[in-house]
Amino acid sequence: VVNGRLVVSVRICRRWIDLTTNTTGKNVKLARSNLRLILEHGMIRICYGFDKPKGRPCGKGEAAVDKGYTEAVVDSNGRHYGEGFGTVMTEYSDRVTELVRNRNKLKAIADKAEAKGDLEKAKRIRENNLGSVKFDRFCLRFRHRISDIAYKTAHLLADNYGHMISEDLTWAMSPNRGREKGKRFHRLMNSWAKGILADALNSVFLQRGVEHDIVNAAFTSQIDHRTGLLQGTRNGDRFTGIDGVVMQADENAAKCVLARFYDTEITILVRSNHTFG
């Protein structure tokens, strides 16, 4: 550790090279570890393997969660987790769309200049405006923000419950479903469906010993949890029952997911043996 930063010395091509990291070195144990050095955009990532310790004890209760967009998840007891999740996703998705649109315009200008024989102009545009370094760094910052929200959400759920039930949404992400909703909707949902949240839940639940079961997701957002029937209408964050009662849509869906776990007439896609793996 030099000046509060961990420095890793590696020997490459008979020369020792000092790599100064951005960590203090706390809880980092590199002894007898194989290191993997990844050069990426002028920076080096140092990866190493270690045995992850068992996490703190989980809660004792049971609940189901509905994976939302406005917030990360809502449980069947009405608790909301990861608020701001949708705001970050929308900000990222809109910004990426704007950047790609502008890059395509610049690429078209470069192609036209090249076609007219102005090779210098085309070269300047490609070298100075069509690189990927800044774009990749922006995407990386976004992934860190989303990952932070996702893992905090997973730990809060593990603090409260010992048995979690969630739905499998892979069927709902088919590219042929719901095209009438528009390009922007699918752009947002495709970003949301990257799996960051699911990976966080799986990792944290496994580490902290939370039982995790997955059920069929079909129609859980369209069923009235009070009757178990396809009655009522969902509009954004509002679910209106056939009797006119208005409920929070994700809370209603989470309760439907909980009921689905105990419904023996609907096939459960995956059920764990008290340990999610």
Q: Which residue has the tokens 């509009």?
A: 235
**Which pLDDT does position 193 carry in this prediction?**
53
**Which pLDDT does position 243 carry in this prediction?**
92
How far apart are the C-alpha atoms of 251 and 68, rounded to whole Å? 10
C-beta contacts of 15-22 below 8 A and 24+ residues apart: 19/44, 19/46, 21/46
Q: How confident is the model at residue 270 (pLDDT cuts 50, 70, 90)?
A: very low
How far apart are the C-alpha atoms of 240 and 233, rounded to whole Å? 5
**Which pLDDT does position 28 carry in this prediction?**
85
| Higher pLDDT among residues 31 and 66, named by residue | 66
Query: What value does the mean pLDDT take over residues 49-53?
Result: 77
pLDDT at 274 over 80: no
Q: What is the dihedral of CA 233, 235, 239, 241, to 10 degrees?
A: -30
Q: How confident is the model at residue 189 (pLDDT cuts 50, 70, 90)?
A: low
**Which pLDDT does position 183 carry in this prediction?**
65
Alpha helices in the chain (DSSP H): 85-115, 119-128, 133-160, 183-192, 196-208, 249-261
For 107, the token pair is 């690429």
pLDDT at 269 over 70: no
**Which pLDDT does position 139 carry in this prediction?**
82
**Which pLDDT does position 271 carry in this prediction?**
44
Q: Which residue has the tokens 């890793």?
A: 8
CA separation, residue 40 to residues 37, 44, 133, 138 (Å): 10, 6, 9, 14
Nearest to 70 by CA among 249, 255, 256, 222: 249
**Which pLDDT does position 190 carry in this prediction?**
56
Residue 221: strand pairing partners:
none
Q: How confident is the model at residue 153 (pLDDT cuts 50, 70, 90)?
A: very high
Tens digit of each residue's pLDDT (9 = 90 or more) over 239-266: 999 999 999 999 999 999 999 999 888 7
Amino acid at 274: H
Q: Which residue has the tokens 């590696």?
A: 10
Q: How confident is the model at residue 236 (pLDDT cuts 50, 70, 90)?
A: confident
Tens digit of each residue's pLDDT (9 = 90 or more) over 81-119: 988 887 888 888 888 889 889 999 999 999 999 999 999
**Which pLDDT does position 135 carry in this prediction?**
84
Average pLDDT, the chain: 83
